[in-house]
Amino acid sequence: MFIAFPFMMAMVGVIVGVICTIYVWVPKSANASTKGKADVIESLLWSLRINVMISSVLIIAGAAGLSFGFFGNDSSFSLARGMLDKNLPTFKLDNTLAQPCTPGAGGSLPVLLPVQDYYRPFDSLGFDYPSSNEIQWRLFIAILIGMYLGMIIGYLTEFFTAGSYSPTQGIGASGEYGAGAVVIQGLGVGMLSTVLPLALVVAVIIGAYNLLGSYTIGLAAVGMLSTLGITMATDAYGPVADNAGGIAEMAGMPSTVRDTTDALDALGNTTAATGKGFSNGSAILTAYALVTALVQDSGLSPPPRALVGAPGIQPQSLVFDRDEINLVDIYV
SS (H, E, C) 250-304: HCCCCHHHHHHHHHHHHHHHHHHHHHHHHHHHHHHHHHHHHHHHHHHHCCCCCCH
Round to whole Å and give the CA distance between 267 and 281: 21
pLDDT at res. 308: 53
Round to whole Å and give the CA distance between 95 and 200: 40
Q: Counting beta carbons within 10 angstroms of the beta carbon of residue 111, is it exposed (0 to 12), middle (13 to 18) or buried (19 or more)?
A: middle
235 within 8 A of 288, measured Cβ to Cβ: no
pTM: 0.72
pLDDT at res. 145: 92
26 within 8 A of 47, measured Cβ to Cβ: yes
Sign of CA dihedral 287, 291, 297, 303: negative
218 within 8 A of 285, measured Cβ to Cβ: yes
Per-residue CA distances from 271 to 155, 168, 222 (Å): 10, 15, 20
Round to whole Å and give the CA distance between 135 and 68: 9
Round to whole Å and give the CA distance between 286 and 219: 9
pLDDT at res. 61: 92
142 within 8 A of 223, measured Cβ to Cβ: yes
Q: Which of 68, 41, 74, 91 is nearest to 271 (CA)?
A: 41
* Identity of the amino acid at 18: V
Residues of the chain with pLDDT under 70: 27, 29-38, 40, 74-85, 87, 100-109, 118-133, 234-235, 237, 296-332
204 within 8 A of 149, measured Cβ to Cβ: yes
pLDDT at res. 37: 66
